[in-house]
Structure 1
Amino acid sequence: MKLFLLIIIIFIYLFSTSQAQSPRSNYNIAPGSTLYTNSSPNFWPSPSGHFAFGFYTSGNGFKVGIWLVDGSNRTNKTIVWTARREDPVVSSGAALQFSVDGSRVLLRNSNGEVQSIAEPTQSSAVAASMLDSGNFVLYDSSSRIVWASFDRPTDTLLVGQKLSQNTALRSSTSLTNQSVGNFELWMEPWGSLTAFPKISIPVTKYAYWSSFTDSAAGQNVTLNLGGDGRLYLENSTGYTVKNLTEGGLSVNRTNLYRATLDVDGIFRLYQHQVGTNGSLSSKIVWAAINEEDRCQVKGTCGLNSYCSLRGSGTACLCPPGFIYNDQQRPQDGCKLNFSTGDDCLEDQGSNSYNISHLENIYWEPDEYDLINHIPHEETCSNACLGDCNCVVAKYKDPVCYKHKLPLGFGMKNDSSGIKSLVKVRIGGFPKGGDRIVNKKTGKDFVIIGVFLTAFSLIVFLSALYLFYAHQIWSYKVTSRGASPPDVVEEINMRSFSYEQLVLATKNFEEEIGRGGSGRVYKGSINGGKEVAVKKLIKMVEEGESEFRNEIKIIGRTHHKNLVQLNGSLANLLFTSEQRPSWNERRRIALEIAKGIHYLHDECETRIIHCDIKPQNILMDESWTAKISDFGLSKLLKPDQTRTYTILRGTRGYRAPEWHSNNSPITVKSDVYSFGVMLLEIVCCRKNMDETLRDQEVVLIDWAYHCYEAGEVQNLVIEEDHVDMEELEKMVKIGLWCVETEFSLRPTMKQVILMMEGFVATPPPPSPYSSIRG
């Protein structure tokens, strides 16, 4: 009998214990359980009371989340997880309910709108729990966890939680706003833990902190937080790849640890001590970046600004000659306090600019030109003053780095030894538009009278007009080889007086393009014959040289997609009220590709255009594309495939090899320019647009990001009615064309075959593959 009673007692004890540990214990939440914003309490606590799940106040409303509880101050909540971070707050009267059928945890707003907070991945749940680990979970009837907040980290990692590969912690906007902020910490597939600004594509170029774990780390590396405060990387075999912190901190129920990617982008480990009255004290026990190096966090300040330490915080400052985009939000970056044109057509000489010096100010290495063996800072300053593309030069003996806009990730670093030389405009600041010729002062560098007096020739007829006038004779001369290719007299030119050209162009009223030596205007002569009239803008010698070079090259070309006129493609894409349809954009891109292919492979004298861009694509009334402006082009000899020449073309469209010392220029430089322009045609936007969100400013970056994320539809507007398969193909072709290594770019023939669907378009490499590796 005693034995029987003992067995009964043991059975009751084991049953009660199993009940306490099962999902049906006192601390479990049953289906149908409901919380209200205005109820008390409006949360479900963990057994120890250290964590809670429910409503917390945010701004003028409420959010649903998990927080560390401070027993001595209930309003002091350390948020460790938030549901639906990007959704607006809900108003008073909202309800949080574990549905009666166990299928979901629902958030019901006061207006009746219902949203899902947690939804089991398999069978319905029979219970929910807020665990002492800080994990909110749903259980099925077999006590298996079918949903867990630990699997969906926000900005915080708790003890026992893992950050899996291709998953990120994302900082919050502020201490009081838990929506997604400016920084991300990625557990990358090759085992490295890396922090990036959210505005960038997550490639090594933009990283500001990393665990520097190599590919030998193994498969499925995860970030883990141990109960003793050890932060470590572990692979799928259980091997510790790397310790970020050594651990060894106090382990008991009153010491809690969390690792958070904070608002300022720094990854920190916190220790929380629970007092006897439930009070919560906190301290930082480790930080990935030291406090004195806070400005190393890329993205702290916006484009064209730089970060500087100010006491316990940071300040975002504008360099000389720049002003804030928004005075109320200095972190949003800066802009020039004057506007410039698209090209180097304004007076950019030392008479209009001077250099302002900034000590130890550093911008992201993104120079377009590098000059070695510069003995003096003054030489670097003069190199920038003499280069219309240069906005800032960085000098660190003996190297001079030249930068153009936008300037990214600037910071003050007193140990850098770098001097930033900022080009600042002297005097008045033009606010856009062409500078008007002032006949009284004669100070504008474009003075038409000088050209009229010196040459009696300021402009020229369209290439098509010249070509048709002398087509037969030109081809005969060429075929006989009677004259060398650089003899201008190959083509007889008709001169017009300045008054005739003013009349023909209605006083240079309609600009249809611009190039390296001037602007092109639409005109009409001989009873309505349409012509293109080019006004030379650079200095006399250089302007006439490019003008003659252009005529010489045009005389050697004849293709239906070379040189006719109307408005430019730039106007059609960027300013026209009637944007071309998707099918028209595809057709225009193909026409341009065929024109460039003719120059590269089918023209009798092989030609590198050197300045492919929308402003140099003229359109006729039927929107047929015509390549124009050969002033910067290079003729290749029959046995020549590459050349060496001075910097040519337009910023934003130049291939990387233009900015590398001793790199040859090939037809692939035109392929790169075409790739940039193709993406512009596809997206109907400029390759650089600082009015857009930071991650969208640089079109190549944005296009690759959208392609890699499978979201190419974000590159076009919904009204375009785009064929998504064709859109993806065009984006892939564009990304192939802008490959950094020119040998990997396709030829224009291959581009045409891909565009026409005769060959498949393979997935492109990352534009930064050479950097990442």
Structure 2
Amino acid sequence: MASLPFLCLILLVPLLAAAQRMPSFSANDTAWRPADSNRTLVSPQGDFAAGYRFAVWVVGANSTDRAVIWYAHKSADSSPIDAVVADGTSALAVDASGRLAWTAGGNNTAIWSPAMNSSTGTAVLQLNDSGSLVYGAAWSSFSEPINTLMAGQAIPGGGSANRTLQSANGRYTLVKSATLQYGNLMYANISGGGSLLNLTNDGKLLLSGGNGQLIASDQGTSKRVRRLTLDDDGNLRLYSLLPKTRRWNVVWQLVQELCTIRGTCNASRICVPVGADSVSCVCPPGYRNATADGPCAPKQNYTGRGNDDKFVRMDFISFSGGALNTLSDSGPWMKKQTPQNLAECERICRQDAGCVAFGYKFGGDRTCLQYNRLVDGYWSPATEMSTYLRVVSSDNDSNPFTGMTDMIQTVCPVRLALPVPPKQAKTTIRNVAIITALFAVELLAGVLSFWAFLRKYSQYREMARTLGLEYLPAGGPRRFSHAELKAATKDFSDVVGRGAYGTVYRGELPDRRAVAVKQLHSVGGGEAEFWAEVTIIARMHHLNLVRMWGFCADRDQRMLVYEYVPNGSLDKYLFAGGGGGAAAAGEENDNSSSSEQQQQQPLLDLHTRYRIALGVARAIAYLHEECLEWVLHCDIKPENILLEDDFCPKVSDFGLSKLTSKRDKVTMSRIRGTRGYMAPEWVIHREPITAKADVYSFGMVLLEIVSGRRNYGFRQESVGSEDWYFPKWAYEKVYVERRIDDIIDPRIAASYDDAASVATVERMVKTAMWCLQDRAEMRPSMGKVAKMLEGSVEITDPVKPTIFCVQDD
């Protein structure tokens, strides 16, 4: 800010030792002037401070994390008192009659005064622990909000101007606690059609109606400082101040796609998202930067007669639509048409010399928008719109806005030739003979075709029974040819993973879908695993199970086509060095490239780790309890847990799965799985295997998610000590030494600071201890494990896991 208001409420870190801290300000105190920059009004607990004009307070570790929550402003709007008015002669004082006023100039003209003043001289100006600046019992800063609301402060619902929440730059407004507007144009509203009710002391943002619908929460305690702010970029956000680091954490924001906020970019520019928290404003093809941050201008101008221009197609681009895509508030620069097709929409724009572009929505409703100006352009696949920009015919700029699938040419030209008319002199016998012969040939062809169909059908039926294809559901995975997958993977050049059962390549189908193609090493060795995955995954439909889109079974080629999961496997995010430990060596990492493994992965916080653990538990419970047959995964480990862009987990790699009846136990001819994650019944007794084997593996993964260390690597590090067994070490830390902090991943220890986090970690550790019992009958089912993680069932103290040893072959 070039000029600061005289009085700011700013969240406070410990004040400088030289600052004069005042608990209140009254008529007994000397007048407060600009020269008194070290005088501060402080709340009782020291979380808030109020200062005169140029006072600066800092929140967090550096001076960029400041938060002004209120300032003195003009009564007509939310603009601050200009510093030119509040010059060196200004002063804040309480006179003998109890009137609080900020005066300036030699005639002591009041430039600001609370709306209501006390009639006695006993009233004082104080700052409460809630962040409210009060004067006596008649006035509070909470009654005149600017752009920020604190916990317990009433959210303005419209009415007078000083009751409207407005951004500090004055461009955006929260109207009736329900909609966000840029000037008179609405661009976002509260989901569900409700309005904001209040922000509670425990961090819950509620909607009006009934008992209040919860739309956001930071799951913290009532002692944490929170604020709801309409930021200068037009987004309404809920912030929470972390007690340890004293930094703001964004808990919730109303608008997820920042480019849909009106006024984000200047006229003629197109807003393109950059990550999740920033945008870029670029010029469309055929336009150039007139100024550094100003509007774009055409590189060349066309005449408008329609003979020297062309239209450049920009997919997923819309102008003047906003987040709500409404046409009623578009203004004179856009007009809606209802043509018969795309060609007519283009013709209408070409006939109008003032039409600079037109938009067409390929949705069957024939929506055609004619633009006279380019305003509020933004890129988003949700628009379902293509914009055709009018430029000169000679323009050859590259077009980065492509992405829709081109229309398929369905009409082929056919050349027809009429035969020469036959001679009229034909006898009746000849005509009858020709007709009879044609009928006989058609009848014979029909019989032969029907016989060939029955024979081919019988062959396909026997082959389907042999290969297990009869078990695939209707409308299931597509069967690809080897040539199709070779073209999709660019001749199998992009290797993203290697494992014991096959090699995984990244590819792209003709419809632009990214896929992961797993090619088995050999037909003989991988035949059983191949059809196990095809028959099992084709029946599985769950949010946390990887989806199979097709397969290839050409001669000796056996391949599976999965959805491509971009973030790779969980082990890269849990363990230092992208997986670390000997247990990761040689294991399969589907959908992850060698280059990606070299990059620094983001650190998973406790909340994200809990969501991953709960999603994996629900997926395994679905395999065990909700399928018609009993599906054992047999190889649950971090390498087989893939992560989406939002870190939603997906369980993959069913190459070791076992499909049987729920009433039966499974007897395996050989040990399956990965050392360190196998249950004792696999290794010691060679007993029949049940679903409890997967429960044990999940328990070991759950401990690794909490601690961030590999169980197998842990045993190697602890050889020679009594703590070599990972579950035993974790049990003693939690239930004997009562030092649960020792098993938490030290990289997230800084954010582990509230009661909710403590409860989450304890619930995860208790659940893991029950899953890691050496006797299978003592372990809970996966359905109960999921409920234990959800907190819907009570968890008793577990029994200490027994040490067992895995011998190397």
Q: TM-score range by the shorter chain?
A: 0.3 to 0.5
TM-score normalised by structure 2 residue count = 0.33
TM-score, normalized by length of structure 1?
A: 0.35
For the pair shown, the structure with the greater C-alpha radius of gyration is: 2
